[in-house]
Structure 1
Amino acid sequence: MNAQKWHGHATVRAVAVVGCTALALSLTGTTAQAGQSRDIARQTLPANDGWASYGTGTTGGSAADAEHVYTVTTWAEFKAALAAGGSAPKIIKVKGTIDAVSEGCDSLAAPGYDFDAYLAKYAPETWGLDTDLSAEPDDSPEGLRRVSAASQDKQIKANVPANTTIIGIGRNAGFKGASLQIKAVDNVIVRNLAFESPVDCFPQWDPTDGSKGNWNSEYDTAVVYGSTHVWLDHNTFTDGSHPDSAAPTYFGMLYQQHDGELDVVRGSNHVTASWNVFTEHDKTILIGNSDSESTAAGDRGKLKVTFHHNLFSQLVERAPRVRFGQVDSYNNHFVADDSYAYSFGIGKESQLVAEHNAFTLPAGVSAAKALKRWNVSPVTAADNYVNGKPVDLIAVHNAEIPGEVLVSGAGWTPTLRTKVDPAKAVPGIVDCNAGAGRLR
């Protein structure tokens, strides 16, 4: 893989941290213990570090021989490295920012596709709100949109094989517009990468979605789908140069071009997300994608995920929203702004444990919003701090939102944890050490 090198500029908005000092990561143990190797590309998930350490643990491509270690600087090189060698252990080192859609959205559009024509045909005042677009022929504006969307799907999705480590080298390593597909595989590590969320170039208008219709987009930044033993560590996930706040409206609705930042779905199991930054996004993380019995059968007893020492900043919701899984969330810092809806979504048959976390909320935003009840499921929420003071999140939620009473007690006790830091100290520790470019 000797293609011409290309070094982009990471379009990640830095998280402002006031008074950060060189806090030793030995305070928490995770990175200090990782892999017992000086080569960060060969580090493995430490023992007892969340659900991804369960059973066989997560080693990624740490055992790769020299022939299966790749350094990539372009999207083509990255995809070729993923495909090389099948599921033999491999390490892929990413240098610089790799743009999955470097030629822009227009390069993916089907011949004849015209967005103005799309708007003209499907405007509610002419099309109405009673009929969806599924029956539209291939040569219609919707048909051409479908072809264009298929082109983008093929371009930006990258399938990650089993026994793989993908790691950023240096402080500006990452991807723009890419969608990592960790699908039906075991043993994957993703570390030290800055991800700018993919922009759906061709969202679909659905007139029947809600009372006013809605724009629906595809492409999560990373999807863990039917996979096991996955460790995501020291990454940054952001909307970057395309925030929802800058998106236009069409037909009176936000032209939504983003989906999730991280989804763990379809029977995935044993995942640890540590020391990541999730910022500037709406629907951030989904654990379990449906309440339906057709998916529930494969999700029950699985979807076991640990989140620790992550910074969740300037998000609207889903940090995460949980269905079915035993999810352990501890020592995370949640920093809200006026767009905040909630952090933890309590969904069908979920067993969420949210402990020793810190919340920084602006004036006028109540701690009652930290938890959102989507379904009657028990939750454990102990020793959480809000603006530097201990707050019983369940009690304040039930007092202020009496119509959505939460029941305390998730029914299980997490044991797969490394050192647990005092909740009051979490903002200083996490803000200074989480995210891409801070892996030591």
Structure 2
Amino acid sequence: MTERHDAVDVIRVKRDGGTLTDDQIDWVVDAYTRGVVADEQMSSLAMAILQRGMSREEIARWTAAMIATGERLDFSDLGKPTADKHSTGGVGDKITLPLAPLVAAYGVAVPQLSGRGLGHTGGTLDKLESIPGWQASLSNEQMHRQLRDVGAVICAAGSGLAPADKKLYALRDVTGTVEAIPLIATSIMSKKIAEGTGTLVLDVKVGSGAFMKDIEQARELARTMVELGTDAGVFTSALITDMSTPLGLTIGNGLEVTESVEVLAGGGPADVVELTIALAREMLAGAGVTGVDPAEALKDGRAMDAWRQMISAQGGDPDAVMPTAPHIEEVRAEADGVITRLDALGVGVAAWRLGAGRARKEDPVQASAGVTLHRTLGDTVSKGDVIMTLHTETEGRMPRGMAALTEACDGAGAVEISDGTEYSDGGFDRTIVLDRIGTAT
């Protein structure tokens, strides 16, 4: 087969600051997926994209080319609107677990294709696999049936969705091009558009525990993804949310499942509840469900009913008690005062080292490992108070988990306690949702 373009010519265009044509983009994405364009050539092009950027038109075409390498799901015969959420990842970010059944309780189908954790950010599938019997892998037919019968499904994305992304993602990870916003956006949106949802709400995290450390970078990524979704005919909006401090009071797979169930039972930490409801409002509005308060379905049990049905449908036991780690260690306050810093990255790395996360995609994770917070940002503590508990199934992991807390924030430590003079106005008010980008709802 004679190729209609040459990889070197395509690289040169972007290297020199030029604009790739639609045909060049279609060809290079397809040819890389087929193995015609070599890894070293695509890594060179990815670096050129990182340095030179891409126009909105180029990004849209690249996304379409990624989608074209695989299948597209179609839920139009369900007879009800569909909505999905994607988070760029954080520490203690268990929001998908209560959110999917909450939205389903209002008659909106939620096809939530999720992934596994890597590094200090947790994976939704890893959390749910803490539940005995729960299965992450479903066929398209099983997914379709569960959406029709239950209304919500959280499962692994099949290999047929945007296979070009899987190959390119792995390459970016080892070539220093992960930070390229056009490639982040096309990676996320190619899978989400191929998934076939009618509404997509993006949770773009910013802060020490997030991939994006700067709010302007987070806004740029959010705008890019909202534009891609909108251009593809998907109602898309984004919330920029704080990830400088962990979400909730638990970090770790089984620990986060337990906390999610507390939220579904009408309790749970205020920040988790706040963000769950904010995202639910966005999803429901995009799906055309207005005039409702999602908080009501948390209080009256409808969301919990949907959760139990969703877990049971995938073989899980919704009444199962989460496993308990055999090794624990407490972290105590070293002085009286107010907690003025609780660094998400430090706590996330601690949980990862304890066994809650993985360094390589093939690594196993521990269901019971992680961190429980007993105090959080703005809380008053006395010397000796327990601030957090570390959990692990492997005693030898504990020293490195503990060390992550002291290494955080350039060696200043993940936890900072001050005299509280900055709270002389009467208290601490953490803002979770920092900005919103998208069509008015």
TM-score, scaled to structure 1: 0.27
Higher strand content, 1 or 2: 1
